[in-house]
Amino acid sequence: MRKLVIAIVILAALAAAVWVYLLSTTPSQSRGVTFPLSDAQRALLAQVPESAESFVLVPGAAALHAKLEANPVTRDLLARASVPSPWMLGGADVVVWSANKKTTYLVHLDPLRAFLARIVGQNESVLINTPTDDPIDRAELERIVSIANGLPNGDALAVQRTSSRGAFPPIPRPAVSSVAVTPAEILITSRAPADPNDVIRAEPLRARFPKTAILTASFTKPPRQLELTRIMAREITTLLADGGTIAIYDVDTGTLLPKPREVIAIPGTPERREALANVVKAIGGTGQELTGFRTVDSGNELVVSFDPKSMAHYLKDGADEARWPANVWTAKVDPGRMVPLLNEIDGNPALRIVAPKLHRSVRDLKHWIGSLEKAKSIEAAGSSDGSAEELRVVISAK
């Protein structure tokens, strides 16, 4: 009996020692990603397989887990994901990739952690100290790393390769993103080779976001995906040919085609005033009465709407200044109100037939922000210098 008690005490002491070791070697502060990447981080990325469509590098993943728990938005996302436990990771860096709709984690653990992880039976999607077959082409990896240089420091580095069809980020591929998490925000900065179709302005857009709008977007040139001529009068779309702002206050999803309750705002330049005068003349008095077409000239801005209620909202609405300057496009979304509408619009068969590009954009936006419905707001700003395109995004928690 005495020997049994001694054995139990020894085992308990060993278990306690192991637990203390695991806790003491699990960092509480994330090392994060700094640029240029270290040799060890580049070596870890070199083990990503060629079949990967996208991948993420997370230095000190266990410490990042605590930061994700502190943010209400990421906490909710973390609860839905199957990720390795912090005690198992310790101070290890992790690389995660997606291929053929499957997510895989690769982590290099110390011998004790590797032994314990195998005993408890880790998830089959977690590879421990295991080299991958057919790694990514070294020349492509070097190109990706070079695009990442110049990004701000973050908690993780995400890469979408040319084969990636993900909705985010809405810039060319390959795209690299630095992700930083705080208790109140998720900050994402993405870079990619510039889109040759971008309209680049030396001066940034004058963008202000109405406080009660569901979605506000300003741009130097309407994105082709909007297919404005399919859902708006051709005369109106000409006003946006050189850019402008669309503020959406609601969407009527009970019609054959979803009908946005929006306001269009354009700079009050002589050229735009002349274009607006031609539109007013083309629609005519009777047409204005039938359609509810209204215009307001505030001096610096020309405001156009077919919805008197939205026009009234816009004119009396307060506005938030854009967080960042942008010379291609900028937007702000209220995901709590937008996501339910996107779910309804995505199921509209008429929109899929009449405006397939717009329908695809709606679906992409739904895939991107569909899991962010509990966020307070999402703001994005896209800019280009002709050689590289940069996208900055902030997701604010409530």
Q: What is the pLDDT of residue 140?
A: 92
Parse the chain into domains and list their residue ranges.
27-193, 208-375
pTM of the model: 0.85
> Are β-strands 301-305 and 54-58 bridged in parallel, bridged antiparallel, or unpaired?
unpaired
In this prediction, residue 4 has a pLDDT band, given cuts at 50, 70 and 90, of low
Helix 356-369, helix 335-346: angle, nearest 10: 140
Residue 172 burial by Cβ neighbours in a 10 Å radius (0-12, 13-18, 19+): middle
> CA of 43: how far to CAs of 137, 192, 243, 324, in Å?
13, 22, 45, 34
Highest mean pLDDT pick, 94-108, 127-141, 239-253, 377-391: 377-391
In this prediction, residue 386 has a pLDDT band, given cuts at 50, 70 and 90, of confident
Residue 74 burial by Cβ neighbours in a 10 Å radius (0-12, 13-18, 19+): buried
**Residue 154 contacts residue 32 (beta carbons within 8 Å):** yes
DSSP H helical ranges for 82-175: 86-89, 111-120, 138-148
Q: What is the pLDDT of residue 133?
A: 78
pLDDT cut 90: percent of the chain above it: 25
Q: What is the mean pLDDT of the chain?
A: 80
184: amino acid identity, one letter: A
> CA of 309: how far to CAs of 255, 258, 294, in Å?
18, 17, 11
Residue 67 belongs to what H/E stretch? helix 61-70
**Residue 225 contacts residue 360 (beta carbons within 8 Å):** yes
Mean pLDDT, range 170-175, rounded to an integer: 88
Residue-wise pLDDT tens digits, 315-344 = 899 899 999 999 889 999 999 999 999 898
Residue-wise pLDDT tens digits, 56-109 = 998 887 777 788 888 888 887 776 666 666 667 666 788 888 888 888 888 777
- Cα diameter, the chain: 103
